[in-house]
Amino acid sequence: MFCMILPLRADERNWLPPGSMTDITRDPPAELIRQDTVRDKQWLYGRLLFHSPALLGERAVRIGLSCNSCHTNGHINADFYIEGLSDRPGRVDVTHRFWQAGFDDGKDNPLDIPTLRGIRDSAPYGTAVRLPDLPSFTRHVIVTEFAGPEPNSGDLDALIHYLASLMDTPPAHADEAQQSGPETSYLTLLAGPVETENFHEVDRLYELIRSDYGRRIAKMDTIPASLRNEVTLLKSLHEKAAADDFAAARVSYQALIARQ
């Protein structure tokens, strides 16, 4: 089972030019969340999408690239480097044919990866293209720069909700910002679709959450038994929902939540 959960890191690297580095190698920056943020399901789903390569285009998916890859915890991955697209770490050319065939401005123009802290209040957005609001700019990045699929309104709204929660500067006092850990659980997102017996939504969330477990597991030398059990229960929930046995799927969901 775990070979299906783990990200295919070797395959991801095979899609990158030699000498490239998309993982952050130093201590990651803190994720600073505004104190007044309500971490509801929309916020949680937005954070999950921010960490998921599925939001972006085919090439980004193949190399395991998500919003978080460049903007680690909403800030900057100063180690990010793709040979041929970066002139130094922390910079990348997003108007290069590497991202999609036929989309190239013909210029070697890598730009600094910007922080997303305080992005709610920093309109207008963009460098080569200036857009007036965060939804239109976010869609531009997904669809135009990274050749991703057109995001549906629910996904885009959730992602914007998360982005708007990012605090602009570290607070003077630690209690003025919320911080999320790398092990943030997304399992509560399954409650609604399991209860309403919406397998399409269960299936989509399963793939996103399964991939999140895979990214966490890939960083571990040893997989804790508790994490193995969670993955087993998650897989069981998905299988039972796929078989239209939502009564059993609810039991698996409750067992998952009881472990949190």
- Do 197 and 176 sit in the same domain of this protein? no
254 and 200 in a common domain: yes
Is 4 domain-assigned? no
Same domain, yes or no, for 159 and 47? Answer: yes
Give yes or no: residues 22 and 136 share one domain.
yes
- Same domain for 65 and 151, yes or no, is yes
- CB contact at 8 A, 212 and 52: yes
Instruction: Write out the residue range of the structural domain in which residue 239 sits.
Output: 185-260
* Bridge partners (DSSP) listed for residue 166: 33
Pair 135, 41 in one domain: yes
Do 165 and 191 fall into the same domain? no
pTM score, two decimals? 0.90
What's the N-to-C CA distance of the chain in angstroms? 22
Q: Is residue 231 part of a domain?
A: yes
| CA distance to 78, 136, 244, 254, per residue, from 155 (Å) | 27, 13, 25, 26
- Other CB atoms within a 10 A radius of the CB of residue 152 amount to 9
The Cα 206–Cα 133 span in angstroms is 31
- In 3-state terms the chain splits into helix, strand, coil percentages (rounded to 5) of 50, 5, 45
pLDDT of residue 57: 81
pLDDT at 10: 44
> Which tokens go with 63?
């190399």
Q: How many domains does the chain fold into?
A: 2
Same domain, 128 and 236: no
Residue 1 lies in a domain: no
Phi, psi of 101 (to 5 degrees): -65, 140
Reported as a single tens digit per residue, the pLDDT across 215-253 is 888 888 899 999 999 999 999 999 999 999 999 999 999
Specify the CATH number for the domain of residue 132.
1.10.760.10
Of the candidates 166, 98, 160, 88, the one whose C-alpha atom is nearest the C-alpha of residue 131 is 160
Q: What is the pLDDT of residues 158-212, one digit of tens each?
A: 999 999 999 997 766 555 556 665 578 999 999 999 999 999 999 999 999 999 9
